[in-house]
A and B are shown apart, each in its own frame.
Chain A
Amino acid sequence: MAQKASQKAAALAAESLSTPASRAAFSAASGSFAGMVSAITGLGGAVVFVPALSRLGFKAKDIVGTTVAAVTGATAAGSLAYAQKGVTGTLILIYPSSLSVTIESDIDKDSYIYIYICIYIMAAYILHTLTHIFSILSMYERNNRLTVCGDDWFCRRGVHADWTKVCAAHIRTDDATDAGRRFNLMRSISVNKEKNRRRLRTDERGDC
């Protein structure tokens, strides 16, 4: 009984989606709903795409391929919107997800796998570069702002709010740290030597 009812419903659905316009409208409606689900839940929207495409009468492999393409679009747009709102969390999860490509069992071992690995490696390098660029830009900003140095916690790590009152001893002791190295690098390339010497004279040192 239930089988007959479901067959009848499927036949009705197939009949109602016989024209190109109705199929396009159905696809657009499904996509809109999936986009909403994707943005709210973070699940990608495949839970909507798969039944919708099977209703349209696609083969299994076409359903999977088309779903992946649509999900990619939905996640890209959702990610962009969340990033603009400042809600996106850490990006570190991206790095090890590359393993999903390298050990995927049913993937064709052709040149594409190298392309994927390159994409992930590039993404990792871009992220690493961004982190360093942001930290260096921040130091430039602090250099121009000339706020009062007195934060002992940062001083101990070689990061000083006011470069004109930086303690020379701290620079030397923190040279081994990452922050200290960046500090000294930026100091040497951002200001001229004469200015630097003047800053580090004993009478201009801060007491941080």
Chain B
Amino acid sequence: MLIKKKIDEDYEPTKEEIAEQERIKKALADHGIMSSAPDKDGHFQQPKGNLYTIISQQFLERYYKHGSWIDALYNEREYVYLGIAVGLIQGTVGIGGGVLVTSYLSAETDLEVHRIAATALLCTLLTNIAVCSQHYAMGNIKLRTASILALSAMGCSYFTARNIALDIPEPAVRGFIASALLASGVSMLR
């Protein structure tokens, strides 16, 4: 199961858990799939190949971890519940999905913080596109300013995510996220 509550550092895995980890490791090695998990130092390995290859490897990693797609969907059902909750809150209250997803995944799962940030970005993308088109149709977007803001943000976001973000230590990123959430809350209260 990918989502699980944080465990103590002193926690010793059971024989079944060790066997399951070994089984996954062997299955991935047998099929030439590189694990997307970070190494012992917390560094992510750069996968080989183009974007298609990288994404297909991620899909196949899930496939071999769980045994079949049905099992993968069932074991990752917490993500579906989280998505439903985020969708409901976002639709009724209007709070951005990224804030909720980042907060929940940070608090309740043992995912790496960089992976949390990447997942939050991706899962809010489609919602943002839909809302953006709605605002465009209503004439709420100042195109000149929006294009300057978006182009500069895209360039910086791409550069940072590719070259800088993964090298920042996890505690620093967590502090950065907390600061951003705090600033967001303060700006809402004003």
Contact = CB atoms under 8 A, between A and B. Distances in A.
B118 A88 contact: yes
B158 A78 contact: yes
A35 B59 contact: no
Interface string A75-110: 111111111111111111111111111111101100
A82 B90 contact: no
Among B54, B121, B131, B158, the one with the most A-chain Cβ atoms within 10 Å of its Cβ is B121
Contacts, number: 357
Contact of A112 (B84, B133, B145): B133
B103 to A, nearest CB: 10
Nearest to A142: B31
A204 interface: no
A22 interface: no
B116 A89 contact: yes
A61 B2 contact: no
A42 B92 contact: no
Contacts of B189: none
A71 B154 CA distance: 9
Sorting the interface of chain B by its residue count into under 10, 10 to 19, 20 to 34 or 35 or more gives: 35 or more
A58 interface: yes
Contact of A100 (B56, B90, B141, B156): B90
A176 interface: no
Interface of B: 2, 23, 26-27, 30-31, 36, 44-47, 51, 54-60, 62-63, 67-70, 73, 76, 79-80, 82-84, 86-88, 90-92, 96-99, 101-102, 111, 114-142, 145-146, 148-162, 164-166, 168, 173, 176-177, 180-181, 183-184, 187
